[in-house]
Amino acid sequence: MALGTHSAAAAFANSGPAAGVESDREFAFSDADFRGLAQVAYEQAGIALSDSKRNLVYSRLSRRLRALGLSTFREYREFLAENMAERESFINAISTNLTKFFRESHHFDHLRSEVVAKFAKANAASLGRMRVWSAGCSSGEEPYTIAVVIKKEIRDLERHDIRILATDIDTEVIGRGARGEYPGNSVDDIPRPYQEYFTPTGTGDTLAVDRQARALVAFKRLNLMEQWPFKGVFDAIFCRNVMIYFDGPTKAKLIQRYTEKLKPGGFLYIGHSESLNGSHPGLSLVGRTIYRREA
């Protein structure tokens, strides 16, 4: 989602003559405003906004007020309640996108050796099917990293049925990801053996992802809290630095849904700062923030 690793906002201490209202802001921002917007975020996307996110919410949504020509957060809340299209802009605004190619590289080492290489060996003489899901794909660096790892390891891609599903709740970052073009300095994070899959576009200092690798990835908007419109299971699911936005019950439910969408022996990769609190039958820890679905 564009819900990727986030930068925490400083905690806000109420001050001013009116209880619960910040008087030194461009826009009045009351406790009721914050609670109302936090409730919408939770209902729409499962995002749990604690008081420490107050400044973040104000800063991000002030831009929406200016763009819409509104003068108060109360007006914005009323507009949000009546305008379904604005709810998408609201979620986009409060989401944070911080990602890069080969981030938490040990996950891709594991994917290469335990999923892709084993797939290639098992299907050396026959057609094979592989599905990988990048849930919360942001602007595409994660699914394209998965794609180039697969392309490097499997030279006869055209013989197999391999697809990567890349989903996010933020429509803006999905659009950027689908274009498959990135600043030239993006290769700084890419190990040398994979840099051949990123070539200059001829327009400014921009690189394009290899055409065949791009063809493996399908970008779709998806709210993880809603019904998932696919029936198959996955060899691997990446959901990294997304669950930090959710409360305990929401996270537990999501993990159970991921488990059900993994084939036996499939892997779930989560973010470096995340953990699966409590017991999750069917999953076992097999590496640093790597879980395997048992048969």
Active site positions, annotated: 60, 168
Q: Please compute Rg for the chain using Cα positions.
A: 21
Tokens (6 digits) for 189 = 């994070």
The one-letter amino acid code at 106 reads H
Find out whether 80 and 87 touch, Cβ atoms under 8 Å.
yes
| Backbone phi, psi, residue 98, to 5° | -135, 105
Q: What angle do CA 251, 257, 258 make, to 5 degrees?
A: 90
The DSSP result for 230-251, as a single string, is: ----EEEEEE-S-GGGS-HHHH
Q: What angle do CA 258, 228, 224 make, to 5 degrees?
A: 65
- Closest Cα partner for 90 from 61, 131, 48, 63? 61
